[in-house]
Amino acid sequence: MENLECPHCGSPLAKGVALCGECGKELPDQEINTDSPPPEVRQRGRNVYAILAVFLVVVGGAALLMFTGILPNPVKSGSVAAIVNGEKISTEEVDQKLEVFKKMAGKSGQMDTAGPEGKKMLAGLRMQVLESMIQEKVLLTEAIKANITVTPQEIAERIAAVKKGLNLSDQDFEAFLKNHAMSLANFEKRIEREFMIAKLIDKGTKEKGMSKEDFLKELNARAKVEVLTK
């Protein structure tokens, strides 16, 4: 019998799976056994990951989606999910963001975590949420080191632009935040972080004469990252 392995993380694969239960990434068609699940099952998996992408843009910041590939160290127990450049990411923070996504996916009927496949999918999604938080922490710690700041005016102008772009009244905007489990203070903090990341990238690429991709790779290469949980 042929031993199948995930092309992304190298973990062993069970027969007929469309997603890796370890890293949660979708498998190419050639990696899927002929006894694979029905098309509608695979499509449901694709829909869930599409929703996750939207979630990460809204809650995690668009810049974070440019990064992938940090692999976890052997599992250790504890309340800390990861340590990035000396800064901790708690398991509680990861679980909170995952819960927001689960609520969004549940409302759309795109996620069922009751069965074994659903639990594997949820584990993969949790790791993707953690990876996005790690990437954000890498960038923010570098931005703080570079003394990058954001003014209240910049934050207010960005929020006004969001309202205008989405054609939202103040009441609609409040409902938007509520639907995404965010307070105004949390949203302002989110905007501040995105500004810091954008300013860091702009400053770094200009000073070093590097492309954005190369600059980001350099930051990741020198980052001290330890993943303590899956």
pLDDT (0 to 100) of residue 19: 54
Q: Does the pLDDT at position 65 exceed 50?
A: no
CB atoms within 10 A of CB 163: 15
pLDDT (0 to 100) of residue 169: 93
pLDDT (0 to 100) of residue 137: 95
**Which one has a higher pLDDT value, 49 or 115?**
115
The whole-angstrom separation of Cα 138 and Cα 140 is 6
Secondary structure class of 15 (helix, strand, coil): coil
User: Which of the 8 DSSP states describes residue 82?
Assistant: E
**Which one has a higher pLDDT value, 179 or 113?**
179
- Convert the pLDDT of each residue in 159-171 to its tens digit: 999 899 889 999 9
- By the 8 A CB rule, do 89 and 83 touch? yes
Show me where the domains of the chain are located.
Answer: 62-227
Residue 147, phi-psi category: left (phi > 0), alpha (psi -120 to 50), beta (remainder):
left
**Who contacts 164 (Cβ-Cβ below 8 Å, separation ≥6)?**
none
Q: What phi, psi does 222 have (nearest 5°)?
A: -95, -5
Secondary structure class of 53 (helix, strand, coil): helix
Model-level pTM?
0.60
Q: Does the pLDDT at position 69 exceed 70?
A: no
The whole-angstrom separation of Cα 230 and Cα 228 is 7
- The architecture in CATH of the region 62-227 reads Orthogonal Bundle (1.10)
The whole-angstrom separation of Cα 192 and Cα 105 is 27
pLDDT (0 to 100) of residue 180: 72
**What residue ranges in 19-106 does DSSP mark as E strands?**
80-84, 87-90
- By the 8 A CB rule, do 175 and 161 touch? no
Interval 94-116 mean pLDDT: 70
